Chains A and B, each alone.
Chain A
Amino acid sequence: MEGRQTGRRTRKGATNYRLVVIGTALVLAWAAIGVRLFQVQVVRADELAAMGLDQRLTVKDLAADRGNIFDREGRELAITVDATTVYANPQQVTAPEITAPLLAAALGLNADELLDKLTSDKSFVFIARQVEWAQAEPVTKLGQVGIHWYTEPKRVYPAGSMAAQVVGFVNIDNQGIEGLEYGYDEELSGSPGRLEAEQDPDGRLITFGEYEVAPAIPGSDLVTTIDREIQFIAEEVCEDTMVRTAAQRCSVVVLDPATGEVLAMVTLPGFDPGNRSDTDPDRFRNWTALSVFEPGSTQKLVTVAAALEEQVVNWSTTFEVPDQIEIVSGACPDNEDVYGCFSDITPHEPRIMSVRDIVTRSSNVGTILIGRELGEKNLANYLEAFNYGAPTGLDFPGEAAGDINLANGCQSCPASAAIGYSVSVTELQLAAVYATIANDGVWMQPHLVKEIVDGSGVRSPVDPERREVVSADTARIGRLLLQSVVESDDGTGQQARVPGYSVGGKTGTTRRFVVGEGYTGDFVASFIGMAPIENPEIVVAVVVDAPFSDNTGGRAAAPAFAEIVERTLHQMGVAPDAS
């Protein structure tokens, strides 16, 4: 019995021992956990929380939507849509010889070039950038390892090549590099935003986690002054004119003289901004505002308007006009017509001509005589007042200033300038001169953007500069003289007549000047005019560069002017004012 009790005590002792050990172990374990918890939750809490957050946190740049470009009626000229960019990580591609032809077939690419990309030692190569989803979708279903895609904005031009030089275009990163896209890049671009948020391993947002967003500020929209319908008419007529005359280039400006708004601005040949990879960069140039030429006879309006304004002549003042005039002594026998000897196009006996006759028949000699009455200084002043030699301030990048060459010592320059040589202008500058006459003598700054509308809908209309250059009376006489050019039987602009409308304008034919080459055998034919003449709604300038046939302003440009005026006035709903 004692033995049993001893054994029981021994077992009890062992049990107690085990309990102590286990208890101690548990206490130690809990203590260890506690220590670890203390370490994790207190000592390294911030560090570990930051590490965890770092794994979950994602920071994304939120691209700002690029503003749209509209025509004056709110029709889209440039918008941004989502496109898909396909790329590859060649290090992940396991079977490039299989993947390459599959991708090539889906995306219409060259399989060999793709194979080169997929076998390169890079970890990122573009396969196709900014393709439509319909084209990219088959790629996403191929299930090829190492092929990825993402969505990015793409600029598109729904009107195609229409007004391409005006609207311009962006590069692959949506930065404007030509035209209004370039000139207004800052306004159109907006400001990118930033998103900082937690996401799970599948990239899904954890809404109750860290979340901070600075929204992107969308770019402003541009509402241009361009009228899509008038632009189309002008482009179509210009194209026909190029075919008819085999010209190298045709350009048109249509202005609203009352506001200075550019309704159409055409340079042909043009290009498609959405597909321009093989296009000659020369076609990107907006010829009407960026390139200058000697205006020739279209310039005579300035000389005559200045003389009328200064009251040195009136429309019925007469001159005895020979067919040739020698400005530089001894020039005429050598027939150096530009440098000191000036002639009318058609030889004639000296005759009495009124100012009206001089303008109607476009007499060079007669205009030089009017210029003499006006004086060199006055002529220079009026050229400047009509904005020669300075950009008009058109809201378009790179506008040319033109030039007035009345340097001291140039004997023939005043005479040259009176008839449109020794000065160079852009087509737009010249159109603005005619718009001044159409607008009762008030020069309106030509402009392409009607208003800028920011992302929240606040509209900022453009306020163009205006100034009076000549009186309304002078302008009215100027319009009647231009009408005579078109409607008189001896006028040089008869082919500019428009059934149902009273039209006025002036022809111009100059020899083409090329920097470094001088005058070439080619001509620049132009016609600038307005309609209806009493209260002009439009001013249209047509310049045909280097026409092969019908190379005068009256034959190459005047018919184009007439067609543009007729169709535009119908489009605008302007009632006919003549029988």
Chain B
Amino acid sequence: MTARLAPAPQKRPHIRVVPGRGIQPLRMAPWLLFTVLVVFIFFALIYSRTTLSDSAFRLTEVDAQIAQEEASFQQLRLEVARLQSPQRIVPLAEQIGLVLPYQVRTVEAAGVTGSEGGAEARWAEVKSILTASP
């Protein structure tokens, strides 16, 4: 039996254990905050653009609706004017037996005047409707 020499103990590298300092939360926090902020701003920007676009679409729709309502208003105004026309009313009145009075008696009442305002009142009424229209 051959005796073998025990291996000489190797020199261990000069290693030492340094106590771990763990993750340094204070140093990461600004970066994290910055990242969150950037992401937030990014999404906020996207959201604002989307909202603006949405508003634009809604505005277009409202414009279209206004135009439609305005057209409808004009048509109704036309219909009212046609319905009020004496050319339509007089033949209808004659159909149901109405005739011009054979004799007219006038009674004058003190303190009572004719219709007031006339054109001005009527025009003001019409104009208020017109200016109210979009």
Contact = CB atoms under 8 A, between A and B. Distances in A.
Interface residues of A, number: 40
Given A158-B85, A205-B56, A576-B106, A81 B71 contact: yes
Interface string B79-94: 0011011110010000
A555 to B, nearest CB: 22
B84 A75 contact: yes
B38 interface: no
A229 interface: yes
Contacts of B127: 221, 453, 457
B70 to A, nearest CB: 8
Contact of B85 (A79, A160, A453, A576): A160
B111 interface: no
Interface residues of B, number: 39
Contacts of B71: 81-82, 133, 151
Contacts of B32: none
A70 B56 contact: no
Nearest to A206: B56
Contact of B78 (A158, A223, A570, A575): A158
Contact of B108 (A72, A76, A161, A575): A575
B122 A74 contact: yes
Nearest to B82: A158
Select the residue from A133, A158, A453 with max chain B CB neighbours within 10 A.
Answer: A158
Contact of A74 (B59, B67, B114, B125): B125
B52 A207 contact: yes
Interface in B105-134: 106, 108, 114-115, 118-119, 122-123, 125-127, 130-131
B104 A500 contact: yes
Contacts of A158: 78, 81-82, 85
B35 interface: no
Interface in A546-579: 567, 570, 573, 575-576
B86 to A, nearest CB: 4
A228 interface: yes
B18 to A, nearest CB: 31
Nearest to B103: A499
Given A206-B56, A232-B90, A236-B90, 20 more contacts: A74-B122, A75-B84, A79-B78, A82-B67, A158-B78, A158-B81, A158-B82, A158-B85, A159-B85, A159-B87, A161-B87, A162-B86, A204-B60, A223-B123, A228-B85, A232-B86, A567-B100, A570-B101, A576-B104, A576-B106
Interface of B: 52-53, 55-57, 59-60, 63, 67, 70-71, 74-75, 77-78, 81-82, 84-87, 90, 100-101, 103-104, 106, 108, 114-115, 118-119, 122-123, 125-127, 130-131
17 contacts: A73-B118, A73-B122, A74-B122, A79-B77, A82-B70, A82-B71, A156-B78, A158-B81, A159-B87, A204-B56, A206-B53, A207-B55, A228-B86, A236-B90, A453-B123, A499-B103, A567-B100
